[in-house]
Amino acid sequence: MIKTLEFKSKGKDGKLNKVGNMEFRNESTNQELYFYGDIVSDSWGKWCDEDKCPQDVLEILNSIDENRDLNIYINSGGGSVYAGLAIYNQLKRKKCNKVVRVDGLAASIASVIMLAGDKVIIPKTAQTMIHEPWIGIWGGFNATEFRKMADDLDVCSETILNVYSENLREGANIEDIRTMMHEETWLTGDKAAQYFNIEVEDSVIAVACASNYFEEYKNIPNNLRNKDNKGEKELEKKDALEAEKESILEDLYLFGM
């Protein structure tokens, strides 16, 4: 059986508007959960139906049979740190056996979600990426506020490192992972298996990945760079958001802030 959950929110006119859906396959032999978009904090942050937030995942996990395996498929460019950590903890609490497969990419916070599996499989043709968290800001801030933001980011880094540390292969050094995070490191399945408790398998060409975060990463592979993977509508939304940010900044400068 294929079950589709539709998520709605109430607009200013009081009507319920669709904000996305999430497909869950509950068949006779398996249960499947897909992360095939960006990880966002809530339904308002979704650019497309494939994006996921913690509430989406909670709805699915509440409907599964814990006596059967849960197969999790990941092809995500990452997203919100706190949303990803929430999803990781939701998955870890679920008592069923969780098998994670990276179909194309598990980047940024998706690499943390990946490690929630009891068994993690990355094909040789797939990739994962780890890096230090960052924050996008605009507006006026003083030095004290900037220092606090930096301290908060350090805490996020340590939290993510704790997850990586719990999943290190015997003999791997967490300080190597810290350095790799600092440098933003992209890993093939074979390379990732040198550091983490994952399995590598031969496979066909990895599934193409779409993400609004690709332009923000420093060392993104050429095969992922500058691709209009999400279509013109998503780019138009992003351009509109950037234009709105620029307008806000112009207003702040105009008033001497």
Predicted pLDDT of residue 47: 83
The average pLDDT across 217-226 equals 70
Average confidence score pLDDT of the chain: 81
**Record: fold of 2-226:** 2-enoyl-CoA Hydratase; Chain A, domain 1 (3.90.226)
The average pLDDT across 73-99 equals 95
Rounded CA-CA distance 223/132 in Å is: 22
Active site residues: 108, 131
Predicted pLDDT of residue 253: 45
Structural domain boundaries in the chain: 2-226
Query: Tens digit of pLDDT for each residue in 127-136?
Result: 999 999 877 6
Predicted pLDDT of residue 13: 62
Predicted pLDDT of residue 245: 58
- Band of residue 26 on the pLDDT scale cut at 50, 70, 90: low
Predicted pLDDT of residue 218: 72
The average pLDDT across 50-57 equals 94
The average pLDDT across 214-243 equals 61
DSSP characters over the chain: -EEEEEEEEE-TTS-EEEEEEEEEEE-SS-EEEEE-S-B-SSGGG-SSTT-B-HHHHHHHHTTS-TTS-EEEEEEE--B-HHHHHHHHHHHHH--S-EEEEEEEEEETHHHHHHTTSSEEEEETT-EEEE--------S---HHHHHHHHHHHHHHHHHHHHHHHHTBPTT--HHHHHHHHHH-EEEEHHHHTTTBS-EEE--SSPPP---TTGGG-SS--TTTTT--TTHHHHHHHHHHHHHHHHHHHHHHHHTT-
- Band of residue 252 on the pLDDT scale cut at 50, 70, 90: very low
Residue type, 20: G
Statement: residue 239 has pLDDT above 50:
yes
